Amino acid sequence: MIERLADKFHLIPKEIIPKARLESGELNKCSDCGKEFQVNVRGIPLDNCCEECHGKRMNLVGDIAEQSFRGWHTKEKPKPRISSGKLWLLTLLLTGIFCGVWFGAKPTKEFYHRWREKKHFARATGYFAKRDYRHAMIDARNTLVFNWDNAEAIRIMAKSCEALHYTQALEWRAKLGQLAPNDLENSLGWAGAAIRTGDYLKAERVLDRIPFADHDTALFHHLSALVFLNKRDSVKAEYHWSEAAKLNADDDGYKLNMATLRLKFASVTERTNALDLLNQLSISSKERLPAMRALLSDALRHGEHAHARQLAIALAEDTKDHKAIFSDKLLRLSTLNILNDPDFPLWRARLEAEIPDNKENAYELLIWMNRNGFAKDVPALLPKMKREFVTEPPVSIAIADSYAVMKNWPELQRTLETAKWFSMDFVRLATLAWAVDNIKDHTASAQIWKNALIAAEGRLDRLETLARSAMKWGWNDRAEEALWKIASLSVQSPSWVLQALWTRSLQRGDTDKLRLLARLMLQANPKGVTARNNYIFLSLLKRTEEGSPHQAAQVLYNEEPKNPQVVSTYALSLFLQGRASSAVTLMEGLTPEQLRDQSLNYYYGIFLAGAKRTAKAEEILKLTDKSFRLLPEEEALRERVMKKAPPVKPGTPPSAPSLKQPEPAPR
C-alpha cells in the first residue's frame, strides 16, 4: 500500500530510461543527493537512490498514510455527529417518554398487575386440574401477591391444602369466607377443615351461619352429625345422619353411621332396626367390612360372645371375595383377648410369625401390644426381626413406644441413640430429649432439644409436631419456643399456634409479645375486626406511633361504631389525646349489658377518673373482679390517672350504682 501511495503522489521519481538492474557490489549515482552508492546493499533493491534517501521517502509516505488515512490502519470508526435538528427531535422524544411514564405509571402498574395475576391464575388452574397441587399452590400464591382478594385463587389454595392434608386449609377457607360469606361450598369446606383439625367449635359456628334454605344437603347434615357426635349428643347426630341418608340414598356411609349410633340407644326397637340395616350392609355393600366391625363391637358390648367370635373369625379369614387385612386380624386378636379365649395364644403366635418379613405388620402388632398391656413382651420379639427393621421406622418407633410405656428410660435412650429415623429424625431427637430429661440430665436434654429444632429444618408441620409433643410432656417453655419459631417462619401461621402463644403471653403479662402476636394476626387476617382492634389497642397502650394508632382507631370506629370493643379502643385513643370527656361520652353510649364486660368496665372507670368524676370512677372500678388479669401498662395507667384525679369531697353521697356486679369474662 505504501508503494502505491508513493507512486500516486510522485514521491519517487520515475525513471525515464529504464536501466538494467546492476549486479550487487557495483556503484551507481543517487538521483536525489548525487552521491554514489552501492547497488543492492543488504538485499535492498536500490537502483536510483541511496539507502538514506530511500529511508526518507519511506518515512514521508508513512507519515502521510498515518495522518490522512488513519481508518486504513486501525479498526476504529469515525464517531457520527448528530445534527442540531436530530438533537432537538431526540430531546422531544425523550421528554414525551418521560411524561408518559410520569402520568401513566399507575395505570401501567395496574395493567401489569392484572396481567401477572391472570397469568399465574391460569397456570394454577391448569396445575390443579392435573392434580399437581404443590405447583397449583405456588401459582395461586403468586396470584394473591398481585390481588389479595382473588377468591378463586384462595379457593385453589384451600382445596390444594386439603388434598395434601395440610392444616393451613382451615386458614384459607376462613379467608374465602370473609370474601364470600354466602358461598355454600366454601362454608361446608370450612366446617370440614375445622373438623379435621379438631376445632369443632369453629365448625359449629360456621354451620350455624349457613341459611336454613341451604340445609337440604347431605354434606351439611353429615358435618352437623360430626359436630354433635363430638358434643356426645348421639340423638342429634343420629338425626342428621338419617337426614343425610334420605338426601343421598346411594351413600351407604351415612346409613352405616346412623345404624352404628342407633346400636347405642336403649330402645330395643331401634337396636333391632339398626342390626337389620347393618346385616343388610354386611352382605352386599361397599361398607360391608365396616358394618361387620360395627356388629362385632355391638356383640361384645352386649355379651354375645359366640356371635362376636364368629364375626371376628369372618373378618380375619381369607375368602374368595375377601382378602383379610392385618388390622382385622388384630381385631380378632383383641376379641379373643377380651373373651379370654383359649385360642388367644395360638392366634397371637400366628400373627407374630407374620411380622419378621413385613415391617408394617410388625409396627401394627407392636403398637397393639403397647396399648393392650403386653409392652413387656416386645423385647423378646426383637431378635426374630431383621436388623434394619429394628433400627428404622416405623418398627423402631413402636419399640421406642414400648420402652416409654414401661418407663424404661435408659433402654429408651440406648434405642434412640442407635436408631435411624431419616426424615423423622427430629421426632427421634425430641423423644431422646424426653428420655434424657426423665433420667434427670436436664443440661443434655436441653441440648438435644435444640438439635431437634434444628433437624426440623424450619418446616411448619415438623415444628407443629414438636410443639404438640412438648405440650404433651409438660414442657411449656420448650413448646413455646417451637411455637415462636412457627410464628416467625410464616405469615400464615396456624390459628392454634397464635392462640396458644397469646394465652401464654397474657398469663405472663408480656405486652410486647402480645403486640407482636397481634401484628402477626393482623397480617394473617388484614380485614378482621378483632385483629385490627387488638393491634390498635396494644399500640395505644405501649404509646407507640408505629402504624398511626390514633388515626387507625378512628377509622375502625367509623366502620364498626356498634362494636363495644372497638368503641372502647377509640375511647382510649381520645383519652390519651387529652379528651377524657369525649371518651366517657362514648362509653356511656354502650348498654349496661355491654359494660358488664370486665375490660370495658375497667376502662370506663379510668375515663371517669380522667374526666374528674372521681366518685363515680371509684364506684365503677370497685366492680372490677380482683381475678381479672391486667397488663403492667394497664395497672400503671390506672395508678397515674388516679393520682391526678381530685379527691372525693367529704359528705358526697355515692351515686346509685348503674351496673350489677360483673361476671369474670376473658379478655
- Amino acid at the residue 499: Q
Same domain (yes/no): 219, 187: no
CATH number of the domain at 116, please.
1.25.40.10
Indicate whether 564 belongs to any domain: yes
Same domain (yes/no): 199, 226: no
- Residues listed for the chain: 667
Indicate whether 257 belongs to any domain: yes
Q: What is the mean pLDDT of the chain?
A: 85
**CA dihedral of 145, 146, 151, 154, whole degrees rounded to 10:** -20
Q: Of 189, 207, 225, which residue constitutes the final position of a domain?
A: 207
pLDDT digits (tens, 9 = 90+) for 514-527: 999 999 989 878 88
Q: Is the Cβ–Cβ distance between 37 and 27 less than 8 Å? A: yes
Structural domains counted in the chain: 5
Same domain (yes/no): 183, 258: no
Asked if residue 394 has a cis previous peptide bond (ω within 30° of 0), the answer is yes
pLDDT digits (tens, 9 = 90+) for 270-319: 899 999 999 999 987 789 999 999 999 999 999 999 999 999 999 998 77
pLDDT digits (tens, 9 = 90+) for 38-61: 766 555 556 667 777 777 777 776
Q: Of 182, 207, 232, which residue constitutes the final position of a domain?
A: 207
Query: In angstroms, rounded to a whole number, what is the distance separating the alpha carbons of residues 424 and 396?
Result: 11
For 336, what's the count of Cα atoms within 13 Å in the CB-facing half-sphere?
18
Burial code (b: 16+ CB inside 10 Å, e: under 16) for 58-68 equals eeebeeebeee
Query: In angstroms, rounded to a whole number, what is the distance separating the alpha carbons of residues 61 and 410?
Result: 101
Residue whose entry in the numeric block shows the C-alpha cell 536501466: 19
Residue 315 CB partners (closer than 8 Å, separation 6+): 289, 292, 293, 296, 324, 328, 331, 332
Indicate whether 77 belongs to any domain: no
Confidence of residue 656 (pLDDT cuts 50, 70, 90): very low
pLDDT digits (tens, 9 = 90+) for 536-547: 999 999 999 888
Query: In angstroms, rounded to a whole number, what is the distance separating the alpha carbons of residues 327 and 354?
Result: 13
Question: Is residue 192's pLDDT more than 80?
Answer: yes
Same domain (yes/no): 63, 178: no
Q: 27 in helix, strand or coil?
A: strand
Indicate whether 43 belongs to any domain: yes
Domain enclosing residue 616, as ranges: 521-644
Query: In angstroms, rounded to a whole number, what is the distance separating the alpha carbons of residues 580 and 641?
Result: 11
Query: In angstroms, rounded to a whole number, what is the distance separating the alpha carbons of residues 651 and 315?
Result: 87
For strands 36-38 and 27-29, give the pairing.
Answer: antiparallel
What DSSP character marks residue 14?
A: P
Indicate whether 342 belongs to any domain: yes
Q: Model pTM?
A: 0.64
Same domain (yes/no): 188, 222: no
Same domain (yes/no): 7, 66: yes
For 643, what's the count of Cα atoms within 13 Å in the CB-facing half-sphere?
6
Question: Smallest Cα–Cα separation from 589: which of 555, 561, 547?
Answer: 561
Residue whose entry in the numeric block shows the C-alpha cell 538485499: 43
- Amino acid at the residue 532: R
Confidence of residue 648 (pLDDT cuts 50, 70, 90): low
Indicate whether 511 belongs to any domain: no
